[in-house]
């Protein structure tokens, strides 16, 4: 008799602490593209040329505008909780005297997260967005390469955002933390 699958086995979530130990022990290699989300290791797809180009362009734009008032972080982890450390493509972080050397940034220190989505669209728009909302990330942009749009999310509420808006080429978008610093959407796209 087979029984209910829920009683056949248990999934043991991996904590951020265990995740770091696995990296230190060589279980997770330094070049492996994985991130920790909701206690699970998520294999990330390879970064293609359009995705890489977009991240480089965002990095240049953000450094020109925000280098004096925020920390610009590229493809580094954010500690959402004890079981989630995703690695967004770009983050704007509140300034901190030690530059986040002593600890990973936490949700209340994140001014903006930008995810560039091509093959990762369903993951970024689904599970990852829910984790960001649940953690209280104030603002998320998803640069959707396939449709040449930027989708902006604000006002986290549970596992969703109350304010979702799509921005097209020809429009401008500004971070909530820096409302006078608008970007042409076309400048954010390859």
Burial environment of residue 124 by CB neighbours within 10 A (0 to 12, 13 to 18, 19 or more): buried
The answer to the question of residue 36 being in a domain is no
Q: Is residue 69 part of a domain?
A: yes
Residue 40 within a domain: no
The reported pLDDT for the residue numbered 6 is 55
pLDDT band at 142 (very low <50, low <70, confident <90, very high): very high
The boundaries of the domain holding residue 151 are 45-188
Find the mean pLDDT for residues 133-140. Answer: 98
pLDDT, residue 2, reads: 45
Length of the chain: 190
pLDDT of residue 29: 86
Domain count, the chain: 1
Cα radius of gyration (the chain): 17
| Mean pLDDT for all residues in the chain | 93
What pLDDT digit, counting tens, does each position of 75-92 carry?
999 999 999 999 999 999
CATH number at residue 170: 3.90.1570.10
Q: Which two tokens stand for residue 105?
A: 């940034």
pLDDT at 144 over 50: yes
């Amino acid at each position: 008799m087979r029984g209910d699958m829920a009683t056949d086995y248990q999934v043991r979530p991996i904590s951020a602490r265990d995740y770091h130990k696995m990296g230190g022990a060589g279980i997770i290699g330094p070049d492996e593209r994985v991130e920790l989300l909701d206690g699970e290791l998520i294999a990330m797809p390879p970064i293609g040329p359009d995705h890489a180009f977009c991240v480089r362009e965002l990095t240049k734009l953000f450094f020109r505008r925000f280098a004096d008032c925020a920390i610009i972080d590229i493809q580094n982890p954010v500690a959402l909780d004890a079981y989630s450390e995703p690695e967004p493509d770009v983050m704007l972080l509140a300034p901190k005297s030690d530059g986040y050397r002593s600890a990973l940034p936490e949700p209340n220190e994140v001014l903006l997260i930008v995810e560039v989505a091509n093959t990762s669209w369903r993951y970024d728009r689904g599970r990852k967005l829910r984790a960001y909302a649940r953690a209280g990330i104030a603002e998320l942009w998803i640069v959707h390469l396939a449709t040449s749009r930027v989708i902006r999310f604000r006002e986290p509420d549970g596992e969703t955002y109350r304010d979702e808006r799509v921005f097209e080429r020809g429009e401008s978008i500004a971070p909530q933390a820096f409302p006078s610093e608008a970007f042409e959407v076309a400048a954010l796209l390859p």
